[in-house]
Chains A and B, each alone.
Chain A
Amino acid sequence: MGRLLGYLTVFAMTYAFYVVFTGATSVFSLVLGALASAVVSVVVKPLVVSGEPRVSDIARLAYLAVYYLYYMVVAEVRAHVAIARTVFGRRMDISPAIVEVPYHVKTSYGMTLVAGSITNTPGTVVVQVDPERRRFYVHWLYAKAFEPDRAREEISAEFERFAQRIFG
């Protein structure tokens, strides 16, 4: 049952993407797409999902939704405003540097979410990851701190708080 749910999850993601991608409304597209998505999810499932889904995953999904809103509405906008100020302003008040940022999430999905959030926010880019020492190397346009833990506090602590709850 649990394994079937894993397949269904991948199928739902794939089929939802298919419907949006094709803009399908005809029975022809919907039926063939369902068949194609079923085949694709059988082939790809072992790569995408490990472990079995549980009821408590609904809470994680809710966190994901909250995080998405927070990230898009608060974090992104704040960072964009800062960058826009630098681009259009007269003073170049930047201090670019590459800093070490430790991370504590355990799964690769959690780590990817944190790294993606850092990179997608203007002003910070993950340039390297060291999985053994659990550290990102982040290019930071407004480097305010060089000690790893203080840099983490400034850059990714908020992202990681959510990533921990969503992916562990």
Chain B
Amino acid sequence: MRLREVVVAVSVALMVLLLAYVVSAGGLGPLAPRELRELARSYLANAYNPWNVTQSSLSLEAVTAIVWDYRGIDTFFETSVLFASIVGVSLIFRGYRERPGIGGRGLSEIVKTSTRVLLPLILVAGVSIALHGHLTPGGGFQGGSFIAVLLVLATVVFSLDFLVERGLASGRLLALRSAGLLGVLATSVALLAVGLALGIDAYIFQNMVREGSELSMPQWLLDRPTGGTLLFFNVFEALAVAAGLALAFLVLSLREEEVGEAMAAGEWHE
């Protein structure tokens, strides 16, 4: 028995050691280069570069600058794909509607009370992650997911009625989701609209002053840079993601009384 344990321990240690050797020798694929590539260097140099604003998004967070500015159109379509999948979910569950007042026991009074105290803290943490997206790691998607977790937690702890009674039924969530996406859209064409109105050249997804366009989003708010469009993108994205993810979870947690009629109708058609 003792010998067996020793053999197992030694062979596990040996496996880890050999695996580490293989990985560090490049046996499982090429290793990342030690020095930064040209592209990475230019992003790092330009993400926050007040001396050369035409190349910069004035964001202290290079990842957010890349995600929402340098490749903003990409991210816009990503957000649209998430939106399409939420539309798909609500299409599959069409005809089902939340009915308040069914009641649900939820979890015990202990969990309910602790959750009640936690709700404002989780909510403000999610909002702060979205607001600081251009300053620290995080952003709209992460903050929105935080807030969605809060809604999921409330559904599990208090029952679905909790959300429905507070006006967060699926219709309202879809409206919030659309409002968030429209906000993202509006932010991406804001400078273009201003440019058209004033007769100045401008681009879609324009953030700061660019070559051939004098227009710029606000660069500073109080004592920190805003990253121009980034702050707006993060806030609207947080709204869209929170409402979207919560909606997907909500329709999955519909109760038998709510899906019963629509199920019966479906069986008729078959």
Contact = CB atoms under 8 A, between A and B. Distances in A.
Contacts of A65: none
B interface, by DSSP: helix, strand, loop or mixed? helix
Given A10-B120, A44-B123, A31 B110 contact: no
Given A40-B123, A48-B119, A48-B120, A129 B224 contact: no
B90 interface: no
Contacts of A28: 221-224
Contacts, number: 79
A112 B109 contact: yes
Interface in A128-144: 128-129, 131
A21 B109 contact: no
B128 A18 contact: yes
Interface string B125-169: 101100110000000000000000000000000000000000000
Contacts of A29: 128, 131-132, 224
Contact of B116 (A14, A47, A116): A47
B120 A108 contact: no
Interface in A27-52: 27-29, 31-33, 36-37, 40-41, 43-44, 47-48
Interface of B: 108-110, 112-114, 116-117, 119-121, 123-125, 127-128, 131-132, 221-224
List of 3 A-B pairs having minimum Cβ-Cβ separation, nearest first: A28-B224, A112-B113, A44-B120
Given A29-B224, A126-B110, 7 more contacts: A17-B121, A21-B128, A22-B132, A28-B221, A108-B112, A116-B110, A116-B114
Interface of A: 10, 13-15, 17-18, 21-22, 26-29, 31-33, 36-37, 40-41, 43-44, 47-48, 108-109, 111-112, 115-116, 126, 128-129, 131
20 contacts: A13-B120, A14-B120, A14-B121, A17-B120, A17-B125, A18-B128, A27-B222, A28-B224, A36-B124, A37-B124, A40-B123, A40-B124, A44-B120, A48-B117, A108-B113, A109-B113, A111-B109, A111-B113, A116-B114, A128-B108
